[in-house]
Chains A and B, each alone.
Chain A
Amino acid sequence: MSVAALRLNGLRKNFGRTEIIRGVDLEIAPGERHAIIGPNGAGKSTLFHLISARMPVSAGSIELKGESVIGLKPFEINRKGLSRSFQITNIFHNLSVFENLRCSVLWSLGYRYSFWHRLAGLKDARQRAEAVMEDIGLSSRRDTPAGILSYAEQRALEIGITIASGADVILLDEPTAGMSNSESEDAVALIRRVTEGKTLVMVEHDMGVVFGLADRISVLVYGEIIATDTPAAIRNNAAVQEAYLGTHPALVEES
């Protein structure tokens, strides 16, 4: 079997005496679409912050494609092929949609800190940014400053920035948060399209999105994973139902 795209082992995070992540073990295979669900405050976003090095780990190990990434900076992990989105939209507000995406592809194309290349002459960067722009349906907003896009458009751009670099492990933090049902459906189709052939890990509250997209689901409750299984098995898992009872009727109804 090939090496795991992402492997967490005994991962812990505490703020002072408060333990937020209490020993998480998780293995995600290359190409898998994995969803992490759980009640509010379970530590889902914190788990993402640990994996992407936005927060330092208290204990345990994280391996990306078989290589430890503990102690690396966010940009170093990004260069190793892991890219993430944010629950709260995190874009370059004063730059146009096109510039947002072009900034996101520059490093992976090897332009680094160059001040001897003319941006206008970088055909590959332009084409890749335009391709992503087409993918996320924002071509008509090419020159609009990202800060004045509509909410749904900003969410699409958020995903665009995440996937633009061509990273093969994608972490999406609540990609459909705050969207209407129809917007949510579009977002699912978009995510499916742009993460084709990549490893996807996502935190999501919308059960429709989760069951529509995920190959496997992990349930995080109070900083621990209480179950990891296929969507069908998770639906029928007694411990999961207990943890969710009353908070997510959708899960119970669908079962």
Chain B
Amino acid sequence: MSSHIAEIFFRRSRLALWGGGLAIAIVLPLLFKSGFVTSLLCQMGIMVIFALSYNMLLGQTGLLSFGHAVYYGLGAFVSMHAMNLIGKSGGSVTIALLPIVGAVAGLIGGVVLGYVTTKKAGTTFAMISLGIGELVAASALMFPGFFGGEGGISGNRVIPKSSFLGMTWGPQMEVYWLIVAWAFIAAIAMFALTQTPLGRMANAVRDNPERAEFVGYDTQRVRYLMLILSGLFAGIAGSLNAINYEIVTAEALDSHTSGAVLLMTFVGGIGFFYGPIIGAILVTIMQIVIGGLTKAWLMYFGLFFLFMVLMAPGGIASVIAIQRNLWLAGLFGRMVPHYLAAAGPILLTVAGLVGLIEMTYALLAGEGVGAGDAATEVLGAELHLNSPGPWLAALAITLVGVVLLRWVGRRTGSAWNAALAELHGDKA
């Protein structure tokens, strides 16, 4: 019966996690009271839904899609048209229900396109999804009537007489509450799906499609249904995107967006339900915060992605899961000094690298060149890029960081391996 008690315990802690997440989502914007933070949080909420829907394919069914933005974009465009129709009709329906329209659009997209893509799994699926993605992105420019051509289509979410619970949807905060509400509905629904026969058989098809056929399941049907449902949730995310920005361009359904959701989901961790949530939040912060600070943000993101793929292929969620297991086994305490010891060298290395990258970018952008010894501002510090001083300093910081990291890393590594060995020894 211990498994029964464990079940109750897990359900309790799961409830606490959902409740905690909701509380944070509500408190954060009230705490900061800044327009920047609010719009950042809005984007996060949308991406959380999108990344979770993507992981229904990648993590749960084992389908690597390069064209998931198609369903997101369809949801966005159809919702935008619906928003304009509501506007013309004088506000017969509230904007709050638009995500239902997006969901239906994503679902229909999944029914039509998924029928082709899910015929096969593996590499074939990946290639077909890429082809379909390009096809839809290209047709977006061919049918300007619906997709609005280069400029996209825009609308106005503030429609008189369509206010809902006193919300006019004008202020960004109101849109944020709408996004939070939909994000929780969608996340709970997607989590519930993992606990159903279809959700579990998707895992079985991911692990071993051949055996799934020999226990009575049509793997093609399982993939198809999962893709349709995943399209539905991507459509909700797209619809919220349309409401949030009041403009949708062809970019919403192109390969950039498909690539971004793949990266977010992967960085967060595809093996855990909450992985994509972490990934979406983190990548959005990087995109907007670091993107606002420096032109080199894609470079940093690329380095970060490389680092994750090489060092933690299970994503951030898997790193958290290992720490949690160490904690439960009482082994976390002995790792803390090692983590702290590694923090210094890591910070040094990162600082040195940032310096080098920023100066290179500034130099390539032509700011320091030709200006003689004129000072260039890099991350708030005035530097003279034509003199060797700053370069040598940044290089030295990087090198010291790397050397220290190697020295500390060896000890941390052996302590880490010892802890893991003990952890797995306990289990067996």
* Closest Cβ–Cβ distance, residue B104 to chain A (whole Å): 17
| CB 8 Å contact bits of B201-212 with A (1 = contact, 0 = none) | 101101110111
Interface residues on A, range: 35 or more
Q: Once bound together, how far apart are the Cα atoms of A161 and B217, in whole Å?
A: 13
Q: Once bound together, how far apart are the Cα atoms of A91 and B209, in whole Å?
A: 10
Q: Once bound together, how far apart are the Cα atoms of A78 and B222, in whole Å?
A: 16
Report yes or no: A74 in contact with B200, Cβ–Cβ below 8 A: no
Assuming the contacts A93-B208, A95-B203, A103-B204, asked whether A114 and B197 have C-beta atoms less than 8 A apart, the reply is yes
B:205-227 near A, CB below 8 Å: 206-208, 210-219, 221-222, 225
Report yes or no: B218 in contact with A73, Cβ–Cβ below 8 A: yes
Q: Is B400 close to A, CB under 8 A?
A: no
* Closest Cβ–Cβ distance, residue A163 to chain B (whole Å): 11
The one of A74, A111, A142 in contact with B197, judged by C-beta atoms closer than 8 angstroms, is A111
Q: Once bound together, how far apart are the Cα atoms of A88 and B203, in whole Å?
A: 21
Q: Is A195 close to B, CB under 8 A?
A: no
Note all chain B residues with C-beta closer than 8 A to A83. 214-215
User: Chain B residue with minimal CB distance to A99?
Assistant: B200
Assuming the contacts A95-B204, A113-B225, A114-B198, asked whether A73 and B216 have C-beta atoms less than 8 A apart, the reply is no
Of A32-40, A115-123, A226-234, the segment with at least 4 beta carbons within 8 Å of chain B is: A115-123
Q: Is B414 close to A, CB under 8 A?
A: no
Q: Is B195 close to A, CB under 8 A?
A: yes
Total number of residue pairs linking A and B with CB closer than 8 Å: 99
The one of B193, B210, B225 in contact with A90, judged by C-beta atoms closer than 8 angstroms, is B210
Note all chain A residues with C-beta closer than 8 A to B204. 92, 95, 103
Q: Once bound together, how far apart are the Cα atoms of A114 and B192, in whole Å?
A: 12
The one of B199, B216, B219 in contact with A107, judged by C-beta atoms closer than 8 angstroms, is B216
Q: Once bound together, how far apart are the Cα atoms of A114 and B213, in whole Å?
A: 17
Q: Once bound together, how far apart are the Cα atoms of A255 and B114, in whole Å?
A: 61
Q: Is B89 close to A, CB under 8 A?
A: no
User: Chain B residue with minimal CB distance to A94?
Assistant: B207
Report yes or no: B215 in contact with A103, Cβ–Cβ below 8 A: yes
Q: Once bound together, how far apart are the Cα atoms of A92 and B200, in whole Å?
A: 11
Q: Once bound together, how far apart are the Cα atoms of A112 and B198, in whole Å?
A: 8
B:404-427 near A, CB below 8 Å: none
Report yes or no: B211 in contact with A120, Cβ–Cβ below 8 A: no
Note all chain A residues with C-beta closer than 8 A to B200. 95, 99, 102-103, 106, 119
User: Chain A residue with minimal CB distance to B199?
Assistant: A115
| CB 8 Å contact bits of B275-309 with A (1 = contact, 0 = none) | 00000000000000000000000000000000000
User: Chain A residue with minimal CB distance to B62?
Assistant: A94
Q: Is A79 close to B, CB under 8 A?
A: yes
Note all chain A residues with C-beta closer than 8 A to B387. none
Note all chain A residues with C-beta closer than 8 A to B214. 52, 74-75, 78, 83-84, 90
Note all chain B residues with C-beta closer than 8 A to A102. 200
A:63-93 near B, CB below 8 Å: 73-75, 78-79, 83-84, 86, 90-93
Rank and list the top 7 A-B pairs by shortest CB-CB distance, nearest first: A107-B216, A92-B207, A74-B213, A115-B198, A111-B197, A78-B216, A104-B215
Known pairs A79-B216, A90-B210, A161-B215; list 13 more (Cβ under 8 Å): A75-B216, A78-B214, A90-B208, A92-B204, A92-B207, A92-B212, A103-B204, A106-B215, A112-B197, A113-B197, A119-B199, A120-B195, A165-B216
